[in-house]
Chain A
Amino acid sequence: MSEKELALKSVEYRKKILKYIYQAKAGHTGGSLSCIDILNVLYNYTMHVDASHFDSPDRDRYIQSKGHTVEALYVVLASRGFFPESDLETLCKYQSHYIGHPTRKVHGVEQNTGALGHGLSLSVGAAIAAKLDKRDYRVFTVLGDGELPEGSNWEAALSASHYKLDNLCAILDKNTLQITGPTSAVCNTDPVDDKFEAFGWAVRHVDGHDIGELMAAFDALPFEKDKPSLIIAHTVKGKGVSYMENQLKWHHGVPDKQQYAAAIQELDLLEETFS
């Protein structure tokens, strides 16, 4: 997909995220909207993975460490043909596999996540396996900035550089808000670039909503030979819906009928600018 096609796709994804969260009356709205451009570029541009060859040992892996923004992952996987989008009508319903965090019951999901601070270790393991087997696949994981105080992240960060995992790329969805408030006020992890660099990673900053910047960053992987790569994606919680942007209440806020209509109207207008 071209940069323009990807940008249009992001608008479509945002509408679908809102639709299914609105229907289910549950979901992590703000974070799904902050990481959707990253997932869009990963699945539609960067990663070698597809629904019909998901069992291939050579596929690129994506492990979502911030599992709670699963709605973003669901809409991307559906559009990539991993399952019919109509399955999402069952989101969070009794006996549905489409629950509020990723599970392998859903085709396309690599790992069951949701408890925070797990994705990086899982990714390190998969990346070491690639090196052992001399396979070329890469491992991608999206971390939330709110989960960084989990100590397991830093244990994994050490292993990633120790084993020179330049086939591993973590993307930090740095939307700067978590359920209690600004991440800087809850437990400041800045300067996070210096920390990861000190842990032996190669780090780049991007605007996490700029499709071109994301594409260029992924194209440049690995940033340094023998080092794991971290992309710090500066994002906006609730991105794309003006009344949600940077508003804490939309961490897991669910729009009512009027709010939903207003959000869709806003995104429709944005979509029209592409034609």
Chain B
Amino acid sequence: MDATIENIAVSQRANLEVFSGTLQQLAQTDRDIIVVTSDSRGSGKLVPFGQKFPEQIIEVGIAEQNLVGVSAGLASAGKKVFAVSPACFLTARALEQIKNDVAYSNNPVKLIGISAGVSYGALGSTHHSLHDFAVLRTINNLIVVAPADNFETEQAILLAAETDIPVYIRFGKKQMPLLSEDEKTFEFGKGRIVRQGSDLTIIGTGEAVAPALLAAEKLGLEHNISATVVSMHTIKPLDYDLLRKIAATGRPIVTVEEHSVYGGLGEACASFLIQNNFCNRFKIIGIPDEYTVTGSQTEIFNHYGISEEGIAAAALGLGK
């Protein structure tokens, strides 16, 4: 049987579930942990949290601007606030509150964008967040994170709880495989090498890292190409040291993300490379500037090549 995300993910959980579990773990010993929701406790898997810690969950109803403003006010009074809402609404409707009330005022809210990217699949573009990296990258004083697997998600939540500057963390609701048993360090702003190779590098982020890993396996088995795979979980600040090392090999680079090809991981990497005189062969895989095709998350991934086949083909297209 071919390796697929589904069959290597059997024993793993959705990052969303890991988030919820980690928050409960934190709240048991820290009464300052506060969750703020906009009718999103169900979609955020936070019903058990609300039952266990009823005084530590604030519901504002479907009102994302108020969600973020209230969260900023709570954070200003010393609370460790996780503002939880679908990424599509959180980062578009409440963008001004993120910019001013959270980032500019330096209220260290942890903005949690759930069901990010095209997780909502066939619900359509209203529910997709393919803009969040691009817009949030331009906002000063905000860390932007897309954890790939359960390990990264847990670490990102634990770290965010104790970080005194604002953080945006986005993830989906699909079961995710553990990407590496070996690499167990996690730090914002430091990419995680989940597979070592010698011919080219695939840099992914969030749920696009799993298909990148599958593509690397395929390239090895079918084409004798050895690919490094990096989980670039932090979009901002980007790990320039790691990028420099990758680029210095002179080998091709493919980036892959569940985001518009405009303004996300790929363009951030390209900007760094070109301004530092690196001329590696380079390809950005993401969602193109068009009406997004309809379908499930997996179907949308496959359509745009955010898949084992698509990423492998893109890598082959760059040459060894």
Contacts and interface: CB of A to CB of B under 8 A. Distances in A.
B104 A126 contact: no
Of listed B58, B70, B74, residue having the most chain A CB within 10 A: B70
Contacts of B27: none
Contacts of A152: 63, 65-66, 69, 97
B63 A158 contact: yes
Contacts of A4: none
Nearest to A139: B73
Given A132-B55, A151-B65, A125 B105 contact: no
Given A115-B96, A121-B66, A155-B65, A104 B105 contact: yes
A124 interface: yes
A57 interface: yes
B96 A122 contact: no
B69 to A, nearest CB: 2
A133 interface: yes
Interface stretch (B75-83, B190-198, B215-223): B75-83
Contact-residue bracket for chain A: 20 to 34
Contacts of B79: 129, 132
Contact of B69 (A125, A132, A162): A125
A103 B70 CA distance: 18
Main secondary structure of the interface of A (DSSP, over half): helix
B171 to A, nearest CB: 25
Contacts of B75: 125
A159 interface: yes
Interface stretch (A105-113, A199-207, A210-218, A254-262): A105-113
A103 B66 CA distance: 20
Given A125-B71, A128-B58, A156 B100 contact: no
A132 B32 CA distance: 9
A122 B72 CA distance: 6
B34 interface: yes
Nearest to A122: B73
Contact of B78 (A113, A114, A120, A129): A129
Contacts of B70: 121-122, 124-125, 128, 156, 159
B149 interface: no
Contact of B76 (A111, A120, A163): A111
B69 A126 contact: no
Contacts of B78: 57, 129, 133
Contact of B101 (A111, A130, A151, A162): A111
B63 A125 contact: no
A231 interface: no
Interface in B81-125: 96-97, 100-101, 104-107
B63 A112 contact: no
Contacts of B58: 128, 163
Contacts of A156: 66, 69-70
Contact of B105 (A112, A127, A158): A112
A162 B78 CA distance: 22
Given A125-B71, A127-B73, A129-B74, A155 B100 contact: no
Interface of A: 57, 103-104, 110-115, 117-118, 120-130, 132-133, 151-152, 155-156, 158-159, 162-163
Given A113-B100, A152-B66, 12 more contacts: A111-B72, A111-B107, A112-B101, A121-B68, A121-B72, A126-B73, A128-B73, A130-B77, A132-B34, A155-B65, A156-B69, A156-B70
5 closest Cβ contacts across the A-B interface? A125-B73, A121-B69, A129-B77, A155-B66, A155-B63
Interface of B: 34, 55, 58, 60-61, 63, 65-66, 68-79, 96-97, 100-101, 104-107
10 contacts: A104-B105, A110-B76, A118-B69, A121-B69, A122-B101, A125-B72, A128-B58, A129-B76, A152-B97, A159-B63
